[in-house]
């Protein structure tokens, strides 16, 4: 299952000549310094309204298309890097990657678990997540904010979903290894020992699991 709809953001910016340590003065004036770069353009130093966009950009992922207007010129960009002030919890600088709508690009997309697993609701299993993002390749027009992973097929303890079990959105190629673990159902602590005593789980399987963890 895939989620494809995304609302394009529109950001207005102006070029800046202030760089280096003097950039601190811009921040005090409520401006967020940034740079735009790409395959077909020279890097452009810009600044945007910090009060309006700091909170929004802090939550934005790398697969969100942005219509960036710099002094009247339009660019289609992705947010590529965010520098933060971890004490204040604010962004201090961002990098935008200008993309061509006719050239494929690679980016990371977040995975979102949907549905209910019978192994959790009926058997008391524990949902353990593996990777939370996958790398994809597609045209900018086919980008998606998230890829949904339906866990309703997990009906037994020990079942798992891997990247190869994910259905990619149309025209999107998942580049992450198909063997990467996405999610697995495990027994609650103490249940495995009880299962062995009851004879419902083979001891050699448990020992193999222990050996794999040690390796």
**Tens-digit pLDDT profile for residues 49-107:** 888 788 888 888 888 999 999 999 999 999 999 998 888 888 999 999 999 999 999 99
Domains 2-98 and 105-214 are alike in CATH topology:
no
| 144 exposure class (CB count in 10 Å sphere: 0-12, 13-18, 19+) | buried
Q: What is the pLDDT of residue 6?
A: 56
DSSP result, the chain: -EE---PPEEEEEEE----GGGHHHHHHTTEEEEEEEETTEEEEEEEEEHHHHHHHHHH--TT--EEEEETTEEEEEEEEEEEEETTTTEEEEEEEEE--TTS-EEEEEEEEEES--HHHHTT--EEEE--SEEEEEE-GGG--SEEEEE-TT--STT-EEEGGGPPPPTT-EE-S-TTSEEEEEEPPTTHHHHHHHHTSS-HHHHHHHHHHHH-
Q: Which two tokens stand for residue 54?
A: 């700091």
For the structural domain made of 105-214, what CATH number should be given? 2.170.120.20
pLDDT in tens, 169-184: 999 999 999 999 999 9
- Structural domain boundaries of the chain? 2-98, 105-214
pTM of the model: 0.75
**Three-state secondary structure readout of 168-197:** CCCCCEECCCCCCEEEEEECCCCHHHHHHH
For the structural domain made of 2-98, what CATH number should be given? 2.40.240.10
The average pLDDT across 23-46 equals 91
Q: What is the pLDDT of residue 178?
A: 97
φ, ψ at 17 (rounded to 5°): -105, -10
């Amino acid at each position: 299952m895939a989620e494809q709809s995304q609302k394009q953001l529109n950001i207005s910016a102006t070029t800046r000549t202030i760089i280096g340590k003097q950039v601190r003065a811009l921040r005090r004036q409520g401006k967020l310094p940034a740079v735009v770069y790409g395959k077909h353009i020279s890097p452009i130093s810009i600044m945007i309204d910090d009060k309006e966009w700091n909170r929004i950009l802090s939550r934005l992922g790398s697969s969100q298309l942005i219509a960036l207007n710099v002094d009247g010129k339009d660019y289609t960009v992705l947010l590529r890097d965010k520098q933060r002030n971890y004490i204040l919890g604010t962004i201090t600088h961002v990098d935008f990657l200008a993309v061509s709508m006719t050239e494929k690009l690679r980016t990371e997309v977040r995975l979102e678990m949907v549905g209910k697993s019978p192994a959790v609701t009926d058997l008391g299993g524990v949902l353990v997540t593996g990777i939370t993002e996958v790398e994809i390749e597609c045209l900018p027009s086919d980008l998606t904010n998230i890829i949904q992973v339906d866990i309703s097929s997990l009906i037994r303890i020990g079942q798992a979903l891997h990247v190869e079990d994910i259905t990619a959105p149309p025209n999107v190629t998942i580049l992450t290894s198909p063997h990467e673990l996405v999610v697995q159902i495990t027994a609650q602590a103490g249940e495995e020992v009880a299962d062995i005593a009851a004879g419902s789980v083979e001891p050699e399987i448990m020992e193999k699991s222990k050996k794999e963890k040690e390796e």
